[in-house]
Structure 1
Amino acid sequence: MTSSTSSPPATDLASPQARQPRPRRSVALLVLVLGTLTATGPLATDLYLPAFPQIAADLGAPESRIQLTLTAIMVGMALGQLAIGPMSDAWGRRVPLLVGVAVFTLTSFACALVTSAEAFIAIRFLQGVAGAAGAVISRAIVRDMFDGDTAARFFSRLMLVSGLAPMLGPILGGQLLLVGPWQMLFVVLGAVSALSMAVVFFGLPESLPVHQRRRQGPKALLGTLAGLLGDVRFIGPTLTLSLSFAMMFTYISAFSFVSQNELGVSAQGYSLMFAVNTIGLIAGTQVNAALIGKVTTSRLLLFGLVGALGAVAVVGALTATGLASPVTLTAALFVMMFGVGLVFPNATTLAISSQPAAVAGSASALVGSLQFALGGGLSSLAGLTSTGEASLASMSAVMAGTGLLALAVFVASALLGRRKARATA
């Protein structure tokens, strides 16, 4: 394990010169490295989705209990980011990142050895805590190196790489189930994580120079977090992002059961539907990257919210009229994911760029923790049915509710921000 002092000088990346236009090859390499880090989390949630029914049968647990493994990793990632983000502000980005990826690798292999649902849930929680490092520190590194439209464009490119994980995850998971048991999925996940650790070790220098690091005691840290929560420029887009993520994650966590139990598709059929919808997410992020500089960040975010909510309304209408089918649902969910692809990079940029680099880790931690806490918590409401399992109707209802809240929060925070700006002027 190398410390941050053994890597190339931090000032090489975090100096004012680093914010000047960078060679395309350098930016592409950075996108690849950070994309690999941010992709491990989505891969951990999506790779085993086609195996939910098989895991439930093998461990002798109801499907609702296996669904809690998703909630566990989301809660773990939420709490882990609150701890790891401030650590990266104090010690630099590199060391906490390497430690987190190493623990994530070990817990991935441990998931392949579980014999009970309870042990599975516990290990997934630990895996989430460790996996938080990749997500929270990647965002902080972007804040160290980019600002404004450049940051928004980078986040869009980053999602092109990280978006491949949720698209390929269920496909890979479905194919692996044809040749081996569900435990093989976690062996593959551990191998991917080990590869990402090597990429970080050899390809990612330190981005936060020593003179910008900020060590905080518990009281000072609480003060920093309270300041972030009270800053409408930060908390508005953060809650918008979190509620939009809850809308998307409701679909992610419930659709495996819904598609196979209500629509009668196979695990491989579900994987194909999921992949098509993820293409919508990737397409949205890349259209967003092309429009940055031509359309304001806030307007792009609003377009994404309205489009995603409209698509969810179509899902609800298809469900109510009995016209829901694999084809019609895939089309509607594709549009929803396209809208989310506009929301995520712009909401992240507005939140992170509103804060100085010295607290970027803490700000990134709060963004991620609220995102995963609300995503994991609110999505579980889809399972509160008479049978204890998510249905197409309950999935649609939770998605509509979280989408409406996201739009309301964004509009309210934008109006409040403008009012404060006028008062200050």
Structure 2
Amino acid sequence: MSDAPRTDALRTDAPRTDAVPSTPPAEQTSTGSIRIPSATGAIRTLGSNPATAPIMLHPGDSISNRRRVLYILLLGALTALGPFTIDLYLPAFPVLEQDFQTTAAAIQLTLTGTMIGFALGQLLVGPLSDKVGRRIPLIVVTALHVLASVGAAFAPSLELLSVARVLMGMGAAAGGVVAMAIVRDLFGGRRLVVMLSRLALVSGVAPVVAPLIGSWLLTLMPWRGIFVVLAAYGVLMLLSTIVFIPETLPVARRQERGGATVLQRYRSVFSDRVFIGVLIIGGMTFSGLFSYLSASPFLFQQTHGLDAQQYGLVFAVNSLGVVLGVQTASRLAARFGPQWVMAYSTAALLIAAVAIVVTDQLGLGLWGTIIPLFFFMTACGFTFPNVQVLALDRHGKAAGTAASILGATNFGVAGLISPVVGWISKDAGITATTMASVMVGCATIGILALWLIVRPRTVGMLAP
């Protein structure tokens, strides 16, 4: 891996490698498509004819604010398909256990299958979208999610439900990967920070409300109805993609076909020292977050005696910390650089996790856990968008591949680490100390990755 400082995408004093000189400014059509004049004076429309659209530095800079908001909402909803697929049916676990006459561990395997499908789907969809464009993989894989959701709704056995859940995970994976790649196609530099932060804000609502919506749906319909709702959501996203989302990757920028080319893209991404560093930081931060998510129902409801509604309120308040961090991070990253924002946010993750252990050992009770936990969640919000910016802004020509590696690593590593909380607790029950101990370990690894691998002083500032 190269140790040399970045001299292209992130430096303000160096040219972008994907820019075309002497290209006139882009225009916005009345329909919201991007009209890009070529160097010869010809007008090309990115929204309607991507095959002939010349390459510009940041094509999305000419999109109207109204169209930009539409893209944020649609791409955020596509990204949220993943969290909804994972979290919406969690309240139905006891009902599934009774209906299939099986164990809780067997029901939990359906969630494991979803995570596996999610990771595999991202690894497949990302490189594919770099080869054939964004729209086709997004449409096809979202359609797979719809069909798999219908299959889950009518699954006669737990085995078939598990298979359907794996396919649902693969189908939901396209939304997050392609959404990030589309944003990278259209934007770069500081505007990329802003767009990814707003995208994270929209999609970040899903993990907050999904368990609450799932509980409410169970009062209206049997558990199979939840999968019908997910199928309807998928249909809505499918139609929205077809109607509103243009192809953003011109043919001229698509990667050549062939397995060797795929390997070259992976080799290019993995040879980037900074990418490896932020990949570890993102995976560890996500693992710390998932350690909290997997432990919180037992910690707050069994250990602290909260009912389901009180737990939902605590969950929502803590999740607001992520939203606060995400929105503040975009402004700070544009001014000081994402690497320096992460220098503080990763330190805050460790401090907050240690504080949870200390307050629990001092016997400060529920509020002694909730307050530092809120700061931990806020630090997560500061970290996630800056990980994405540093990873994607450096690899615009392989944005789909880079995004897929990020997503697969986050879910794959978190799926392996989050059960450690239960393993440490064993028969003693989950406490704030056991939960936060895993969070401390994850935060420590993230800090080491930042200073030993990323090395913030070697990373240039974002281009305008």
TM-score normalised to structure 1 length: 0.89
1:381 corresponds to: 420
2:386 matched to 1:346?
yes
Q: Which is worse superposed, 345-354 or 285-294?
A: 285-294
2:409 matched to 1:409?
no
Q: Matches of 1:412 and 1:318 in 2, distance apart?
A: 30
Q: 8, 23, 33: which one pairs with 2:48? A: 8
Q: Which is worse superposed, 334-343 or 266-275?
A: 266-275
> 1:184–1:222: structure 2 CA closer, same or farther, 3 Å change rule?
same
Superposed counterparts of 1:216-227, under 5 Å: 216-227=257-268
- Give the SS at the match of 2:299: helix
Q: Matches of 1:174 and 1:118 in 2, distance apart?
A: 24
> 1:257–1:102: structure 2 CA closer, same or farther, 3 Å change rule?
farther
Unpaired stretches in structure 1, ≥5 consecutive residues: none
- Give the SS at the match of 1:179: coil
1:372 corresponds to: 411
2:346 matched to 1:305?
yes
Number of aligned positions between the proteins: 414
Q: 128, 145, 152: which one pairs with 2:186? A: 145
Q: 320, 345, 356: which one pairs with 2:396? A: 356
2:90 corresponds to: 49
On the 8 A contact 2:369/2:432 being kept in 1, the answer is no
C-alpha displacement of 1:277: 1.5
Superposed counterparts of 1:184-223, under 5 Å: 184-223=225-264
2:297 matched to 1:256?
yes
Q: Matches of 1:16 and 1:95 in 2, distance apart?
A: 24
- Give the SS at the match of 1:206: coil
> 1:17–1:148: structure 2 CA closer, same or farther, 3 Å change rule?
closer
Q: 200, 208, 213: which one pairs with 1:159? A: 200
2:309 matched to 1:275?
no
C-alpha displacement of 1:393: 4.1
Q: Matches of 1:365 and 1:288 in 2, distance apart?
A: 23
1:394 corresponds to: 434
Q: 185, 194, 214: which one pairs with 1:173? A: 214
Larger Rg: 2
TM-score normalised to structure 2 length: 0.82
- Give the SS at the match of 1:402: helix
Q: Give the counterpart letter for 2:405 in structure 1.
A: L
C-alpha displacement of 1:399: 1.9
* 1:229-254 CA distance string (max 9 Å, x none): 22112111122111111111122223
2:303 matched to 1:287?
no
C-alpha displacement of 1:282: 0.9
RMSD: 2.6
> 1:113–1:331: structure 2 CA closer, same or farther, 3 Å change rule?
farther
On the 8 A contact 1:52/1:256 being kept in 2, the answer is no
Q: Give the counterpart letter for 2:421 in structure 1.
A: A
2:337 matched to 1:337?
no
Q: Matches of 2:101 and 2:115 in 1, distance apart?
A: 23
Between the two proteins, what is the percent identity of the paired residues? 34
2:281 matched to 1:240?
yes
Q: Which is worse superposed, 336-345 or 386-395?
A: 386-395
Larger helix proportion, structure 1 or 2? 1
Q: Matches of 1:17 and 1:248 in 2, distance apart?
A: 33
> 1:122–1:239: structure 2 CA closer, same or farther, 3 Å change rule?
same
* 1:196-217 CA distance string (max 9 Å, x none): 1111111100000011111342
